[in-house]
Amino acid sequence: MPPKPRGKRGRIAKSEAHNLWERMSENEQSVLLFAKNSHVSFTNNRAERDLRMAKVKQKVSGCFRTVRYARAYCRISSYLADYGKQRI
């Protein structure tokens, strides 16, 4: 980190490499968990994509009418997502 220049306010911006090093040192146990355990994925993109469709459905229709219908939608989409993952 470069020293703070005199007369400047605020904090100094960190480089991308420094930010990456900080994140990896703070989360040391979970950074390479996917390398030790084959059931852990490298990213959580799959989970985010699965949740995104429910959020889109909610935004398009305005809301789910009842909690019962929301649970039914999640259950059906979960079955379809699992089936799609098994077909790969």
Q: Tens digit of pLDDT for each residue in 32-42? A: 887 788 777 77
Q: Report how far residue 72's alpha carbon sits from residue 78's, in angstroms, rounded to the nearest whole number.
A: 10
Tell me the C-alpha distance between 40 and 59, whole Å: 31
| CA–CA separation, 53 and 14 (whole Å) | 35
- State the pLDDT at residue 50: 73
> Do residues 58 and 73 lie in contact, with contact meaning Cβ atoms separated by under 8 Å?
no
Predicted TM-score (pTM) of this structure: 0.42
The span from the CA of 66 to the CA of 1, in Å, is 53
**Rounded average pLDDT over 42-51:** 74
Has residue 11 got a pLDDT over 60? yes
Average pLDDT (12-30) is: 86
Q: Determine the pLDDT at residue 80.
A: 83
Phi/psi-derived region of residue 86, left when phi > 0, alpha when psi is between -120 and 50, beta in every other case: alpha
Separation of alpha carbons 46 and 85, rounded Å: 10
